[in-house]
């Protein structure tokens, strides 16, 4: 998991490569774990955690591009064109379709 998370940051601007399923899902899991632990800490501390909320928002902002590149690399690895990332803009079902595409086995 640590390797996948470090690779997530190292390849933040690599939109041309590929990411296999384990690398993709470990990076997603690491980001979700950070988000959940931060939320739990915020709920435990209460109103005194306002500065921490700003840090969490900054972290979320800085992960937009790496998450986008990871998703595009995963689509490419599964054999889909990078433009399938725009499926997520379809209301209600778009993210489910993208989730299905991310779960597909590697083409190579």
Among candidate residues 104, 99, 59, 54, the one with its CA nearest the CA of residue 79:
104
pLDDT tens per residue, range 68-105: 999 999 999 999 999 999 999 999 999 999 999 999 99
**Dihedral angle of Cα 63, 65, 70, 73, to the nearest 10 degrees:** 180
Total Cβ atoms within 10 A of residue 82: 14
The pTM (predicted TM-score) of the whole model is 0.88
Q: Any idea where the domains of the chain sit in the sequence?
A: 2-102
Does residue 15 have a pLDDT over 80? yes
pLDDT of residue 53: 84
Q: What is the mean pLDDT of residues 6-34?
A: 95
Largest CA distance in the chain: 50
Confidence check: pLDDT of 36 > 90 = yes
């Amino acid at each position: 998991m640590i390797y996948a998370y470090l690779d997530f940051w190292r390849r933040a601007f690599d939109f041309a490569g590929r990411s296999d399923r384990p690398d993709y899902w470990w990076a997603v899991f690491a980001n979700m774990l950070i988000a959940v632990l931060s939320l739990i800490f915020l709920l435990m501390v209460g109103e005194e955690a306002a500065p921490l909320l700003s840090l969490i928002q900054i972290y979320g902002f800085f992960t937009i591009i790496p998450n986008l590149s990871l998703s595009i690399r995963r689509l490419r690895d599964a054999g889909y064109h990078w433009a399938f990332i725009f499926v997520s803009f379809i209301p209600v079902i778009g993210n489910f379709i993208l989730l299905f595409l991310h779960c597909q086995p590697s083409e190579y």
